[in-house]
Amino acid sequence: MNLVLIGYMGSGKSAVGRALAQTLDFQFNDLDQLIEQSESQTIAGIFQTKGEIYFRKKEAEAIRDVLSKNKKVVLATGGGTPCYGNTMDFLLQQPNVSTIYLKTSLEVLTGRLFIEKESRPLIAHLKSTEDLNDFIRKHLFERTAVYERANEIVITDGLEVTEIVREIIARLF
């Protein structure tokens, strides 16, 4: 079985993914890192030089590649990954894939992302928590219907990474 973590940026996909993979003795992959390695460029650089459409195509190719080559992988996706093209449909049709939505409240996301916004090109330009909150709210409005199609939804607010991992394992195994 392969486990694919989805959710908005800042929801903990990478941190939870690493811990989950270690606990289950699965391989861990971060989709953004895989794309950066294959393109020899940062995600921000890809967006800037080749555009979002190119990036989304590479993202769809990379997710299919990883899942076709692995049987025990935890994959942390980008926040928009399941929302473009037919990626969510593809994930839900795979018999060896379980999708897990790490559902995190707007308030928690705003707090986490404001602290690290300089390292995130999509939000680095936002100057106040109010602007960031509005940005996230708009994205969540657009993406939640896709996220909630996941096989499992885990509400992460107030939980430590280890507690989220235990919750996922309890639901899947």
- CA 70 – CA 94 distance, rounded (Å): 13
Using alpha carbons, list the distances in angstroms from residue 163 to 29, 110, 155, 156, 157. Answer: 21, 21, 11, 9, 11
Residue 78, annotated ligand binder? no
Q: Does the annotation place 56 within a ligand binding site?
A: yes
Residue 171, annotated as binding a ligand: no
* 105 known member of a binding site: no
Is 13 known to sit in a ligand binding site? yes
C-alpha radius of gyration, the chain, whole number: 15
Is 120 labeled as ligand-binding? yes
**11 marked as binding residue:** yes
80 annotated as a binding-site residue: no
Selection from 90, 92, 70, 86 nearest residue 2 by Cα: 70
Q: Is 127 annotated as a binding residue?
A: no
Please report, in range form, the residues annotated as the binding site. Answer: 10-15, 32, 56, 79, 120, 143
Please report, in range form, the residues annotated as the binding site for substrate. Answer: 32, 56, 79, 143
Please report, in range form, the residues annotated as the binding site for ATP. Answer: 10-15, 120
Please report, in range form, the residues annotated as the binding site for Mg(2+). Answer: 14
